[in-house]
Amino acid sequence: MPLIECRRLTKAYRKGDSTITPLHELDLDVDAGDFLALMGPSGSGKTTLLNLIAGIDSPTGGRLSIGGVDIASLSRSRLADWRSNNIGYVFQLYNLVPVLTAYENVELPLLLHRLSRRERHDRVQTALQLVGIADRHDHFPRQLSGGQEQRVAIARAIVTDPKIIVADEPTGDLDAESAAAIMALLTRLNRELDKTLILVTHDAKSAAYARRALHLEKGRLVEAQELAEMRAIEADRSLSGRENARQGVPG
Ligand SMILES: Nc1ncnc2c1ncn2[C@@H]1O[C@H](COP(=O)(O)OP(=O)(O)OP(=O)(O)O)[C@@H](O)[C@H]1O
Ligand SMILES: [Mg+2]
């Protein structure tokens, strides 16, 4: 059984009289230990899908089951518990708390868990070491480079030892070298620590680290091969449309 199962998953937002439906009856299976890259044009619903999987937002239709749990059926407080045990979220813009040090930022999610100070300390140290930033533990976010801030954000996402890590364009703001280092780190989390990883990215280079890539395209999930075929058919259509127009054939 897949770890994450989306069946006819739908998310619609109502704004005034109009409704936007970024996700329409989406089917997706993600196995434990998978590393999935999610690509697609701006506004195609990538962040929306991550937020549903992370239990930050709730679907308006269909079913989403994670580890056998139908997360839409959980009460608010159960869902908060579930999230803090199962999900690590890495945001594009790091979202570190500016008045807290690197150490304190990483410690934050642990405050929701019943742990002694000592246990918390050990976990934070382990996470900081794992991402290679233990020597900057007492720096504030403004005293870190972008790549270092993202490492701290990743440490914060893994400190609770979640099964699933979702990352929303984690390299979108970084130079090529820092981006490659972050991707190598995320790949290690998947390969060595067995984290199930869903990565949203616009960048084919980053997507190449994943075990597989899917594209969100007009509310559907398609594989790269299928996407290439869809684009070829569209190009073909518009070409023959133009050709017909040139020859006076009604389109
Ligand atoms: N809270 C909301 N209320 C209303 N509409 C929303 C809300 N959140 C997202 N949307 C709309 O849903 C659509 C999908 O948004 P989403 O953020 O998932 O796109 P995305 O694929 O992550 O795009 P990008 O690559 O630019 O980050 C957009 O049209 C957006 O305007
Ligand atoms: Mg987005």
Helices and strands (H and E) in the chain: how many: 8, 10
Distance (Å) from CA 16 to ligand 1 centroid = 16
Tell whether the torsion through CA atoms of 180, 185, 190 and 191 is positive or negative: positive
Residues 152-162: tens digit of each pLDDT: 999 999 999 99
* CATH code assigned at 85: 3.40.50.300
146-175 as b/e: b if 16+ CB within 10 A: bbbbbbbbbbbbbbbebbbbbbbbbbeebe
178 close to 146: Cβ distance less than 8 angstroms: yes
By DSSP bridging, strand 196-200 and strand 35-39 are parallel
Q: Is residue 227, in this structure, part of any structural domain at all?
A: no
Q: Is residue 238, in this structure, part of any structural domain at all?
A: no
Mean per-residue pLDDT over the chain, rounded: 91
Q: Is residue 235, in this structure, part of any structural domain at all?
A: no
Q: Is residue 72, in this structure, part of any structural domain at all?
A: yes
Instruction: Judge if the beta carbon of residue 12 lies within 6 A of ligand 1.
Output: no
Best residue for ligand 1 mutational test, from 15, 18, 38, 44 (most atoms within 8 Å of Cβ): 44
Tokens of 37: 């890259």
Tokens of 200: 């949203």
- Whether pLDDT at 137 is above 90: yes
Query: Based on the structure, what is the number of domains in the chain?
Result: 1
Q: Is residue 149, in this structure, part of any structural domain at all?
A: yes
For 180, the domain range is 4-218
Residues 12-49: tens digit of each pLDDT: 999 899 999 999 999 999 999 999 999 999 999 999 99
Best residue for ligand 1 mutational test, from 10, 13, 14, 92 (most atoms within 8 Å of Cβ): 13
Of the listed ranges 191-195, 208-212, 220-224, the least confidently predicted one is 220-224
Q: Is residue 168, in this structure, part of any structural domain at all?
A: yes
Q: Is residue 140, in this structure, part of any structural domain at all?
A: yes
Q: Is residue 181, in this structure, part of any structural domain at all?
A: yes
